[in-house]
Amino acid sequence: MQFQVIIEASLVFFFLDSPFSLINKATGNCLVKRSNRCLDVRWTTADRLVVTSTKKCLGAQGRSVGSEVNQYDCDETSLLQKWECKNNTLLALKGQNFYIEGKADESIVLSQTIGPNNHFIIPGTANGACSRTHRELYTLGGNAFGKICMFPFLYKDRWFVDCTTFDTKDKRSWCATETKYEHEQWGHCPTTCKFATTDHWKKNVITGVYYQVNTQSALTWAQADKSCKQQAASLVSITDPTDNAFITALLGSGRNKFWIGLVLDPEHSWQWSDQKPFRYLKWDAGNPVSNPGHNCAVLDSYGQYSWQSSSCTKKMGYICHKGGNPPTPSLDLINTWPDAQRECRKDGGDLVTINNVEDQSFVISQLGYASGDELWIGLNDRRTEGLFDWSDHATVTFTSWEFGKPTVSGLSEDCVFIRGENGNWADGSCDDKRGFICMKQSSTVRTGNEVEMDHGCIAGWKKHGSYCYFVGSETKTFAEAKEDCKTSNALVISVKTCRVDNAFLVSLVGLRPEKHFWIGLSNQNNIDIFAWTNTDSVRFTHWNAGMPGYQQGCVAMASGISAGLWDLLPCTNREKYICKKLVDGALPTAPPPTQTPPQCADGPRSSEKTWFEARDYCRAIGGDLLSIHSAAELHVGRLVPDSYHLILRAWIGLHVADPNAGYVWSDGSPVNYLHWSDGEPNNFNNDESCAEFTIHNWDESGSWNDLNCESYNDWLCQIRAGVTPKPPPNDTAIEFNTTADGWLVWRGKYYLISKMSKSMEDARQFCQQSHADLVSINSKEENIFLWKQVGPGYGSYYIGLSVDLDGSFWWMDGTPVTYTRWDEDQPNTNSFDQNCVSMSYHMGYWRTSNCGREFMFICKRTNSPPANTTIAPTPPPKGGCPFSWTKFGSKCYKITTDRKSTWEDARTQCISIGANLVSIPTRKVQAFLTTRLLDETGDLWIGLNSLKQDGFFWADGKTRQYTNWGYSVSIEDCVALTRTSAFGIGKWLIKSCNETNGYIFPCLTFALPSTDPSQPDQPGPIDPNIYERLGNDSMKAMTQNLTWENAKNLCKKEKANLASLRNEWTIAYAELLAITLKAPLWIGLNKNQTGGHFRFIDGWFLNSVNWAEFEPSMDRPCVYIDVDGKWRTALCNQTMNSICMQSTDVPPTESTKFPGRCPEDTKVEYQESYTWTSCKFYCLPFFHFCLVLGSWLWLDKTVMDYVNWAPDEPDSFFGTIQTSDGSWSSGRSWHDKSYICKTPKGKMSHRSRSIFVFLVSSPPGEVMLRSPTLEPEIRAKIS
């Protein structure tokens, strides 16, 4: 029967998810229409509505009033395709106030006003899209780690809105977990087929039970429970050693943890989610722990296959089971009971056996049981400690333990009794004296013709207390059921006061095959307020999991595995129902007299607390967290006595105590009034189980929001009027200590919260220098502790979790991954550059990111390091590179030219061979790559990009510490290393990631992460002792320390000359030599030998330079390249290494003829002067350039090969030429001066108007100078 009930529950699930059409109540027009027919839609993944016939999603054209709503290709990332339902019949863009509106011309648009044209209903009902749910099917097997199916999904150019058997050999249905199937992630769909003979299920041939072990999935307990239920199964329950032995053999060796069906019910202690009896205990040492939130159990396959309590939000594998034969009763527990059992056996009975919830309900509702009673029942573990069984040897099929019971302390508490209002069970010493309940078989044989009659009730009605109850034989809507009850002078039932009434109803209908029975509760008139049809006040509720949410409807009691729990259903559903009326002659109970409420005591205030801490605080002072049951109780004046102190956020007592049940108030009062904020409760990240009350000055009545229970908030206590609060508890308990150097010591581990922002690589290096590593987080408690340290601030903090390219995770300190806390839509394993993980200050959730991003970070170490110790440097990896790769440093590089590639294709190709697009972290690597551009003809993709992030980051996550941008006005997202001399060979240009026209990218540059130890070691590409060929040039470093002249002569002995660096690759190679030798190197520049200006001694002019700041100097004639790649001048008698060059190129002959003519002189001379900026823009439109002289940069971008500074100059940023002697001095850009313009000779005739020369300095590192050919002419002109 239980299996049959589960199947029926599954059918209800698919019904709520079934397709539906929508029409506008005002116009009668369809939401989606084709050929005068309304098309069905269905809620699907990511809050979208899919049109089932066209396989397209409903979306808005834009985010503005009047934007058309139509069908589009589905995209789960588009905010214009995400919808939410409001007030049952309104559809709006999620999180926004744009509502779907039907126009008279049958078009559908967005509006920001609400009127009749905005309400859409399902034909034949009064309900809208809110009455239906979306599908969330958890995959099995495959490679998706249990992720939910993505509907619709695209596979081989076909769209699928449901699971499919397309392209399978075994015809098993499957689905993709991503829309475009771009990473080929898939899994099998759950099925309710009875014991499908697949590899997913393993049968215990003795018991007939089927087991499914999901080792590759990573789900929370609630998700795992749902996954099992989607297969007409449940999370495994282990009720005896035989079950445990089979599961142990099934799991085999290995260290894994799996969810099992054991869950902590705050009213019944630990119980199995499938209602199997909790009669067998296999707790690990120290378990279960009492930490808040540790309400679910895992089976640890390492060691003794024992159980541990855990946070229900962890993600891990799980075990399902279903089917089987009833277990054989154990016959080895035959023993005698004490006196109570002997008394029962005298009359041919035994201590009572309770086999199901209906028996339990009968005992506490029909036998005169009182809430103060403590009565023995037949359950005990006298024979085998930890294994409970009935004294009459009946099979244990049901338990109802009190919270914290049964005990596992080893004390002699072997016999079980019931007590309390709910009749929950506790174990105690068998020697204690208590009342008892006996049970024996009926002596009357039923003929089948009897008519049950209860005194005061008509035939067919059942008496309980002062009322008669009747279960309707037909299914009806809520309104029809209400009217049918009225024909018998009855009402649809109300459960007035306590769980005893509810328990009686469970005994009445709990084992019935029907899924639901109407009771007389609804919020039809006001979504915030639940009311009984007979207007009785609501003093008791018993909501099912996820109920009542924030929707309007009518309430029905569930049967089967959820027997007695209440669900909120559309009032138009057809269900059976229960009527209730007074016993003949009985009078209704008089309401209690109205009393004047006593005065309330003043309450203390304290610092913020978690929900659990706040609840414990309120209880410690004699009250509880606030419960709210009417709109009047929301008034801000009632809640905040101090009108000057406006509460913004505060805990109230509403929470989900049991993941299988709904919201309850912590003080046990009924949930009869709701006041959620719009869109709440949303259980964000499946991690919000407690409610806060938010009040703002624009909303003084306040509203509710669900939140993680471990968040810090103010809180609201309530205490009975007239009661004096007890002294508040001491809040000074110290959770951690702090060392003198700022490390936090918590549970034996050391933590450092660093507020410095660094890339992951730099952050980890910082931690390692302190004998630590980036933090590994192994439990919910550890995550909460760290979150509480960073929560008061803002920003993200690096933790030590790394994401591999295959989507797997590992802690950098080697700790196994046993706990995760991912944010919504995380982890992002679809992007190859999201390989690092950070913790957010908000709720402590984790997100993946590019490792080059700069975040704050957390270090962790296991103990305090020895004094005065340092970390040894990490030796560089040894080994060589594969064939056709070039070793440089500790990496291998390769440039390929065999295909044209977009940036994404290039990266994918690199990753497929274990490499990545190149990152350029230093000028040394830049110089090396520039030397490799000599034989290339096209631009080369590099790993820098701004895809999916605000800023440019390397695809391999390396730190951004060097840039080499060329001039570019592009606003695209990808970067190429240019081979075009117009931009500067080796410069970085921003390009379109998909560009294929105009700028072709036939090459890609990529690097292996490191050398391969299995390959023989190789020398790098830079060998200073040999001539390296670079086109027509060959270069070699001479390592003797010589003066410039002696270095020149040494080169001549080798038929060479001091190097003339006249292109980008020779400059780059010279830089590499200087960096490799860690020494400055003479080059072939000496202005004393070239007429006072800088020209290479072999006759070549300067056309590309890299002067250092404040260079070249007036009084130092010889030039060297320094270890930082900059060119500096020096006295020629200094000694240093040098670079020789052999070349087959012939220097050009300098021309002495300059054809053309100059523009005519201005007629009005020396009458206007301008600031530097004005001059610049005055000259450029007519003559192309202002003549600009400067210490760093000529405005026309020619190189500087001559300087003529006056003494003590320059000391500013813009230059002038002196009319007295032609020397240069500097000035401010806002000074008014005459100026000089320069233009090539030609046919231009525009006249200049005044004369002046300007000097501009550029940022350090971007230096271009030019020859002073025109200075004598300029001086003559000025004179």
| Token pair recorded at residue 963 | 């840039």
Q: In sequence order, which residues have a C-beta less than 8 Å from that of residue 1070 and are 6 or more positions away?
A: 1035, 1059, 1061, 1081, 1083, 1121, 1139
pLDDT single digits (tens) 745-796: 998 899 999 999 999 999 999 999 989 999 999 988 899 899 888 876 778 9
Look at the block and give the residue holding tokens 């992951």: 760
DSSP-derived secondary structure for 331-385: SS------HHHHHHHHTT-EE----SHHHHHHHHHHS---TT-EEEEEEE-SSST
Q: Which residues of the chain have pLDDT under 50?
A: 1-15, 195, 325-337, 446-451, 592-605, 636-638, 641-645, 997-1004, 1164, 1166-1167, 1172-1178, 1180-1191, 1244-1279
- Cα angle for residues 612, 613, 619 (degrees, 5° grid): 90
- Residue 1015: the pLDDT is 61
Which residue type sits at 285?
A: A
pLDDT single digits (tens) 418-469: 887 778 888 888 877 788 888 877 655 544 444 455 677 888 888 777 788 8
- Residue 76: the pLDDT is 85
Read off the pTM. Answer: 0.51
- Residue 12: the pLDDT is 31
> Where would I find the H helices in 844-897?
none
What is the distance between the alpha carbons of residues 298 and 260, in angstroms, rounded to a whole number?
6
Look at the block and give the residue holding tokens 């290494």: 1137
DSSP-derived 3-state class of residue 223: helix
> Where would I find the H helices in 936-1032?
none
- Residue 451: the pLDDT is 44
CA-nearest of 5, 65, 57, 9 to 32 is 57
- Cα angle for residues 1239, 1241, 1242 (degrees, 5° grid): 110
- Residue 1251: the pLDDT is 37
End-to-end CA, the chain: 114
What is the distance between the alpha carbons of residues 5 and 948, in angstroms, rounded to a whole number?
48
Domains in the chain, start-ordered, CATH in brackets?
A: 18-131 (2.80.10.50), 202-322 (3.10.100.10), 339-439 (3.10.100.10), 462-582 (3.10.100.10), 611-718 (3.10.100.10), 737-861 (3.10.100.10), 886-1008 (3.10.100.10), 1028-1143 (3.10.100.10)
- Residue 368: the pLDDT is 62
| Token pair recorded at residue 79 | 């905010």
Buried b / exposed e across 1040-1072, counting CB within 10 Å, b at 16+?
eebbbebbbebbeeeebbbbbbbbbbbbbbbbb
Q: In sequence order, which residues have a C-beta less than 8 Å from that of residue 643 and are 6 or more positions away?
A: 637
**221-229 vs 2-16: helix crossing angle, rounded to 10:** 100
What is the distance between the alpha carbons of residues 1154 and 690, in angstroms, rounded to a whole number?
86
- Cα angle for residues 866, 871, 875 (degrees, 5° grid): 150
Cβ atoms of residues 1056 and 1091 within 8 Å: no
Helix (H) / strand (E) containing 507: helix 499-509
- Residue 100: the pLDDT is 93
**Which residues, in sequence order, are bridge partners of residue 744?**
738, 751
What is the distance between the alpha carbons of residues 436 and 833, in angstroms, rounded to a whole number?
68
- Residue 301: the pLDDT is 81
Q: In sequence order, which residues have a C-beta less than 8 Å from that of residue 948 and are 6 or more positions away?
A: 831
Where are the extended beta strands (E) located within 812-907? Answer: 836-840, 846-849, 855-861, 886-888, 891-896
- Residue 590: the pLDDT is 52
How many Cα atoms within 13 Å fall on the side-chain side of residue 1272?
1
> Where would I find the H helices in 510-595?
none
DSSP-derived secondary structure for 633-662: GG-HHHH-SSTT----EEEEEEEE-STTB-
| Token pair recorded at residue 954 | 């390397």
- Residue 639: the pLDDT is 52
What is the distance between the alpha carbons of residues 418 and 369, in angstroms, rounded to a whole number?
10
